[in-house]
Amino acid sequence: MKWSCCFLAFLMLATTAFSLNQPGELKGIRTVNVMVADLSDDLVNNGVEKKTLATTLELALRTAGLTVLTQGQYNDAVPTITLQVSVIKEPKGRFFATDIVLACLENVSDTRTAGMFSAIIWTRDLLQLLGKIDLGRVVDGEKKLADLFLSDYLLANPK
């Protein structure tokens, strides 16, 4: 019993320290690349559009004062905000589960690895259970994640 209480206390402290540090990783970011991952056929066939998701994310980031670089303008020297939407259909086909993941990746290098690689410096995800896939609900989920990112971004970069 004593060890389980110690473990629980350690876990809470470690989780709190990690969550408090995440906004700090966003300090000084002024420009970002934006990338929306390709969508599955189930999403596309049910009306979810990659362009709509990209536009929604770019608008939220620009509103917060960030300079947004789209796919043709990518710059390896700035972080990349990625959005990925996945869908799983319940075996009997009555329900769908969508997982929306928003992440901020920073290109870093290490002397042990010969070159650059991407490291996640901020991430959140949202799981939705839907009767049917709906673009509006996916966009609403995306907006919630963007709000969480921008809240942490503004904590790290007060105006």
Please write the tens of the pLDDT for every residue from 10-60: 545 444 444 444 566 888 889 999 999 999 998 999 899 999 999 999 999
Cβ neighbours of residue 119 closer than 8 Å, sequence gap 6 or more: 105, 106, 107, 108
pTM: 0.80
Q: Which domain holds residue 58?
A: 2-156
Looking at the chain, the whole-number percentage of residues with pLDDT higher than 70 is: 81
- Number of domains forming the structure of the chain: 1
CATH number at residue 44: 3.30.160
